[in-house]
Amino acid sequence: MLTLGAIAVALKAKLTGQNIEIDSVSIDSRTLNAGALYIAIKGDQFDGHDFIQAAEKKGAGALLVNQAVKSDLPQLVVANTRLALAQLGGLWRQKSQATVFAVTGSNGKTTIKEMLAAILSVEASVLATAGNFNNEIGVPLTLLRLSMQHRYAVVEMGANHSGEIAFSSRYALADIVLINNVGDAHLEGFGSLKGIAEAKGEIITGSKSSSIAILNQDDAFYRLWLEKLNQRRHFCFSLNNSTADVYASDIKVSVEGNQFQTAFNLHYQSKKIPMQLKLAGKHNVNNAVAAAAAALANNIPLTQIQQGLAKISPVKGRLQPWLSRDKNLIIDDSYNANPSSLKVALEVLKSCAGEPWLVLGAFGEMGAQSVEIHRQLGVLIRESGVKRLFAVGDEARGTVEAFGQGGVFFESQSLLIEVLQAQLQADVVLLIKGSRTQKMENVAAVLIDNFRN
């Protein structure tokens, strides 16, 4: 717990009203706990100050606001509530004895977060980022969930512009940081792949000076990140390069009913131990090796890593296999999309038995090169062996044109679903992929509901 007086000193805030104790924080008037400190955040589409009365009715104990408001509740007044939220998260983190892991990367960071949390939770209480709370608001809200019972925290950090990870890292003060990779995600906000790499590197420079960095030796920007260590220790991981501290070998993928199974050997120092994942694809082996490297940097035993990874199940909408009533394998990868994750998904599709079809929603945040990128996607899809392409979303017109014969563009998702249902054959394996804005999970839901017993 913290008193409002202590918070006021830390945030250089003006306190009016009673100096009560606070044990929880909320930025959402609909879900706050009774007695919570309600922080009125001003966003692009809303202003939390408009919901102060709703927060009062819900039982808020105090308010944190940009300007004094009419209320019987105690209130803290600051110049910037968004900054105050981050500072409060940092204050709470400093009171915690938990070891903090911070994870970033263009692709795979959520999966790595879940894998690492599963490994650590075998023997201890772990706090992990919930959902997509990985931005400059989500990170401090995660830190504010830390309790005395937590031995570890696994904090996911995302960004769509330079400086965002630096901001989050300043308050998370991570003990172990991990960069998985650089890809085309959010290219619009960074301008180039190097811009993305520099932004991911902020997780190193923003961590404790005593922290350990976990770096992907296979990534083109590995050397750039090494230059940011400034005497910090590091572990490197690789999918199959035996010069890395941690690497994999003997990867075998299979499908059993509604479940992918991937077996591989994990190597560390002179030790080799078999691992089993209920996930598909070499990229998930890479994610597992990354999580293992972070755990090993904290002296977690290999046997505990083995137990933790065996517990992992697919995240909804991320290469999630479903077997239809007519035995079609439907791979739901609708959670989000960028060119790098499409390449990964196509590799998984190619490894499955059956004629490969793809349902594609246009990609977002591709910047000025979006038209050309979407045309390149068409070539990539064709060269991967896909036989039929069903696409929706304006930018995907170029994808269909570049793909050529067997590709069809649809003006609406409903028409795409109608045609797909009529044409889907028993020997087809179908991948569904697209950016969040395209809501491709709707296609997956219709097909799964339509074909499951």
Structure tokens at 277: 């994942």
Q: Identify whether residues 303 and 163 lie together within a single domain.
A: yes
- Report the amino acid identity of residue 278: K
pLDDT of residue 45: 84
Residue 263 lies in a domain: yes
Residue 64 lies in a domain: yes
Q: Which of 78, 112, 145 is the last residue before a domain boundary?
A: 78
Q: Identify whether residues 258 and 134 lie together within a single domain.
A: yes
Q: How confident is the model at residue 281 (pLDDT cuts 50, 70, 90)?
A: confident
The domain total for the chain is 3
Q: Identify whether residues 280 and 335 lie together within a single domain.
A: no
pLDDT of residue 453: 35
Q: 31 in helix, strand or coil?
A: coil
Average pLDDT, the chain: 93
Contact, 76 vs 11, CB < 8 A? yes
Report the CATH number that the domain containing residue 50 is assigned in CATH: 3.40.1390.10
Q: Which of 310, 330, 361 is the last residue before a domain boundary?
A: 310
**Residue 32: domain span:** 2-78
Residue 84 lies in a domain: no
DSSP structure string for 322-338? EE-TT--EEEEE-S---
Q: Identify whether residues 181 and 300 lie together within a single domain.
A: yes
Segment 239-265 mean pLDDT: 90
For residue 220, give every residue at least 6 positions away whose Cβ sits within 8 Å of its Cβ, in sequence order, or none.
182, 193
pLDDT of residue 159: 87
CA distance 126 to 119: 10
Report the CATH number that the domain containing residue 136 is assigned in CATH: 3.40.1190.10
Q: Identify whether residues 106 and 156 lie together within a single domain.
A: yes
Up-side HSE of residue 25: CA atoms within 13 Å toward CB?
Answer: 27
Q: Identify whether residues 344 and 220 lie together within a single domain.
A: no
Which helix (H) or strand (E) segment is 200 a member of? helix 193-205
Q: Which of 291, 310, 329 is the last residue before a domain boundary?
A: 310
| 448 compared with 99, residue with greater pLDDT | 99
pLDDT of residue 44: 82
- pLDDT tens profile 72-81: 999 999 999 9
CA distance 100 to 174: 5
For residue 411, give every residue at least 6 positions away whose Cβ sits within 8 Å of its Cβ, in sequence order, or none.
392
Closest CA to 55 of 81, 74, 33: 33
Q: Identify whether residues 343 and 288 lie together within a single domain.
A: no
Burial of 112 (0-12, 13-18, 19+ CB in 10 A): buried
Segment 8-37 mean pLDDT: 96
Report the CATH number that the domain containing residue 422 is assigned in CATH: 3.90.190.20
Q: Identify whether residues 230 and 371 lie together within a single domain.
A: no
Q: 347 in helix, strand or coil?
A: helix
Q: Identify whether residues 65 and 161 lie together within a single domain.
A: no
Q: Identify whether residues 298 and 215 lie together within a single domain.
A: yes
Q: Identify whether residues 54 and 72 lie together within a single domain.
A: yes
CA distance 313 to 277: 8
Which residues are paired to 244 by β-bridges? none
Residue 315 lies in a domain: no
Q: Identify whether residues 389 and 286 lie together within a single domain.
A: no
Q: How confident is the model at residue 323 (pLDDT cuts 50, 70, 90)?
A: confident
